[in-house]
Amino acid sequence: MPKGLQKTRKKINKKGSDIHALHENSRDSMRLRRASNRDEKLKRVGTAKRKDNQPLVVRAAYFQEAVRKNDGKELTMEQITPLIEEFVHQHDEEYREVKSQRRAGRPSSTREDVLRIKIAKDEKEWENGFYLPDLTIPDNAIYLDRWDGTWSYLPTLKWITIAKNGTVKPSSFPPKGQT
């Protein structure tokens, strides 16, 4: 039995009945309604999933640029640490600018709140263990250099967490709670 709206519509048309001649609670109109709702739900879920995955895609793109600047070769921990610091503090300047534009005594803007939360979250992650592709492995650096920007390619990379104190732990992709 077809589940998508287009296939359901086609199946009903093959029966010889006109789609516009259906009454409200007929079997065919119920099938069309179910198929339509299913398509809408799949679209909604897909959009939400892409939105959830976006921070990791942005992070991978940032480190891809670092690998490309290094001619596609692996990086050392001494090279990776400043990159992480730069990534963690990438919103600091914009936050200071937004904060300085606000008049004294006024509540913070939504943008200011979002930036403050992002900065705090990134700093906490850096303290506990920053999640990134393992750039110390030559093959991984090559794979990241060839990455085309899609989510589906990221599991082929090896991932690690690096804490601010220098602790390195292997990790899996996607991180806990994200699929």
List pLDDT tens digits, range 117-174. 999 999 999 999 999 999 999 999 999 999 998 888 888 999 999 999 989 999 888 7
pLDDT of residue 102: 86
Which of 53, 66, 64 minimizes the C-alpha distance to 157?
64
- Classify residue 79 by its DSSP letter: H
Q: Which amino acid is at 43?
A: K
User: Could you report the per-residue pLDDT of 104-114, keeping only the tens digit for each?
Assistant: 888 888 999 99
10 Å CB burial of residue 67 (0-12, 13-18, 19+) is buried
Domain that holds residue 135: 5-171
What is the C-alpha radius of gyration for the chain, rounded to an integer number of angstroms?
Answer: 24
pLDDT of residue 2: 67
Q: Does some domain include residue 81?
A: yes
**Six-digit token pair at 46?**
């897909």
Q: Please report, for residues 4, 19, 112, 152, 178, the alpha-carbon distance to residue 56 in angstroms, rounded to integers and kept in the order given.
A: 31, 44, 22, 12, 10
Contact 16, 51 (CB under 8 A): no
Q: Does some domain include residue 167?
A: yes
Which range is most confident: 7-21, 28-42, 165-179? 28-42
Q: Does some domain include residue 45?
A: yes
Q: Does some domain include residue 128?
A: yes
pLDDT of residue 179: 41
The 8 Å CB, 24+ separation contacts for 54-57 are 56/131, 56/151, 56/154, 56/174, 56/175, 56/178, 57/149, 57/151, 57/154
Neighbours of 64 (CB within 10 A): 20
Q: What is the CATH number of the domain that holds 165?
A: 1.20.1440.170
Split into its structural domains, the chain has a count of: 1
Q: Does some domain include residue 178?
A: no
Neighbours of 3 (CB within 10 A): 12
User: Could you report the per-residue pLDDT of 66-102, keeping only the tens digit for each?
Assistant: 999 998 898 999 999 999 999 999 999 999 999 898 8
pTM: 0.73
Q: Please report, for residues 50, 92, 94, 120, the alpha-carbon distance to residue 102 in angstroms, rounded to integers and kept in the order given.
A: 33, 16, 13, 20
